[in-house]
Chain A
Amino acid sequence: MTPLPLWRRYARFFGPDPAADVSDELRFHLEAKTIDLIGQGWNPEAARNEAERQFGDLRSVQKIGRKIGEKTARNKRLADHWTDFLHDIRYTFRTLRRDPGFAVVSILILALAIGANIAVFSVVNTLLLRPLPFPAAEELVWIAPPPSSCGLSCATYSADAYEEFRAQSRAYQDVSGYMAFSSPDNLRLTAGASRSRPRALK
């Protein structure tokens, strides 16, 4: 086999073309056969016909060839991607091993970044993304006074204001309160009625 001269290698400049490969290959076969038959004394016209006759159903063979060729081209492309990927990985590891200081720093930075990401995301996820664990959680609202300089510590209502909300509000199905600063069994005595039971603030 003689390798193709350089200028004839651009037949597939725009990527592989299995269909053209198949017809080129079969055309070559027919030509070679024709030339052989002419060598045996056939006249060119008859030789050409005889070659085609011996070949049989050219079109169906071409169809098979196209199908297999496309499959082969696809496999080759996949294999190329895969070896490229492996080469990249190997190259990466070689580079990192050549400069361990750089490797350590970049791994630390990556670890920090991933850790920070996880931390922030888990907060955002529980506070903002995941619905609250109650039925109809999207109808739940938090009644808060306008923001003030002391932040959430001042965002409170007195127990009286809470009872007022509870009694007067018609916009909500129900109003409930909670004590943000101490344990759940914190008690409040209602004024005046010394014999009434202390009521727990929810």
Chain B
Amino acid sequence: MDTAKLEFLRGTLDVLILKALCWGPLHGYAITSFIRQRSDDALLVEEGTLYPALWRLENKSLLEAEWGLSENNRRAKFYRLTPEGRRRLRHEVKLWDAYAAAVGKVLAATQLAIPGEVA
């Protein structure tokens, strides 16, 4: 499988961003690095989608932004979760688990009908 070409399902990027920020504030570049490293380079976030997603989340006040200094003393915009963002993250993780489990069950099916059940 060509892992570099895994496409993001709609809305997935938002959850990943929220997750990346759950340990504390990060700037945009650190968020891309986090997602790339944690997914073993399977998920490559394009900058052209990451930043608009960040700004939209900020606009919906799931994130709040603040200018700070990066590791190499540059002025960078750091994002942190708002309490609402944290709530949203918990909710989305639950949804995602349920969704993945359901899809997994269907894909793992070995026969058409469950024995003893009328279709």
Contact = CB atoms under 8 A, between A and B. Distances in A.
Contact of B68 (A2, A26, A35, A71): A2
B88 interface: no
Q: Is the interface of A mostly helix, strand, loop or mixed?
A: helix
B8 to A, nearest CB: 15
Contacts of A32: 27, 29, 70, 74, 76
Q: Is the interface of B mostly helix, strand, loop or mixed?
A: mixed
Nearest to A72: B59
B25 interface: yes
Interface string B27-62: 111000000000000000011100110011011000
A65 B49 CA distance: 11
Interface residues of A, number: 31
Given A26-B51, A28-B70, A65-B51, A8 B75 contact: yes
Nearest to A61: B48
A2 to B, nearest CB: 4
B72 interface: yes
Interface string A31-75: 111010000000000000000001111001100110011011001
A24 interface: yes
Given A26-B47, A26-B51, A31-B74, 12 more contacts: A1-B26, A21-B77, A25-B27, A25-B28, A28-B28, A32-B29, A32-B74, A60-B48, A61-B47, A64-B52, A69-B55, A75-B59
Interface of A: 1-5, 8-9, 11, 21, 24-26, 28-29, 31-33, 35, 54-57, 60-61, 64-65, 68-69, 71-72, 75
